Amino acid sequence: MDLFINKLDQNKFRETNNIWNLLGLNSPQNVGMVSDLITQKSFSRKEEWEEFYYEHGRSKEYLADVGQKLYEAVKQKLDITLDECVECVRFRVICETWNGIIMREPNTIKTIDIATDNKFEFRKTSGNDDFDFAIDFEMFDNNKLICGLQIKPSSYDSSNADYLIRARKNNEQKNRKYEQKFNVPVFTITASSSGAITSGREFAKLISLVNN
């Protein structure tokens, strides 16, 4: 299986991210519970996932309407077209979901599993838990919850762009809610799509926890 490639101008794509989040265009009401949807069946190709999303998530026309809302919000600030805004929506909803959940997340879990001698169980969280707590997986030892795991691309903690600062702050607040509710820590692990971990310090904290 292969990744979706973002062919948009990267500066334009990044510049729309803040508005995307501020307007709540990434909410389940707008895009559906994509993290649940993509796990409902196995896909052999990324194109199958995209077709499945249009059949069971939101239609192309609906996403185009979301793109229109994005365009109206940014057209006075950015040199961007309506078609580019619609593609921004498609890539964030369909392509990033595939690249993250189907490619990066399982590969990263495999890396963690090997590093912890295959002693633990990793359970994928529901879309609701992901949205409420910014948690992608929970780690168990004989059914005892050890910690929550948030898996992000390597760029997540290597940039000080405004939208990423806000995203990190928002996710940290959600993580704290999880820690208070379940009395276990949350670790944010950044990695490439192949599962190569780039957050060395955070990963070392995780390994230290499970080895004690």
Asked if residue 62 is part of any domain, the answer here is: yes
Asked if residue 194 is part of any domain, the answer here is: yes
Among residues 81, 115, 75, 97, the alpha carbon closest in space to that of 206 is found at: 115
pTM of the model: 0.86
State the burial class of residue 78 (Cβ atoms within 10 Å of its Cβ: 0-12, 13-18, 19+). Answer: middle
Render pLDDT for 51-76 as a digit per residue (tens, 0 to 9). Answer: 999 999 999 999 999 999 999 999 99
Asked if residue 135 is part of any domain, the answer here is: yes
Asked if residue 96 is part of any domain, the answer here is: yes
Host domain of residue 135: 104-211
State the burial class of residue 150 (Cβ atoms within 10 Å of its Cβ: 0-12, 13-18, 19+). Answer: buried
Q: CB–CB of 109/121 below 8 Å?
A: no
Q: Assess whether 130 and 202 both reside in one domain.
A: yes
**Number of separate domains in the chain:** 2
**Amino acid 53: pLDDT:** 97
Q: Give 154's DSSP letter.
A: G
Render pLDDT for 153-181 as a digit per residue (tens, 0 to 9). Answer: 988 887 777 778 888 999 999 999 999 99
Q: Is the dihedral of CA 180, 185, 188, 191 positive or negative?
A: negative
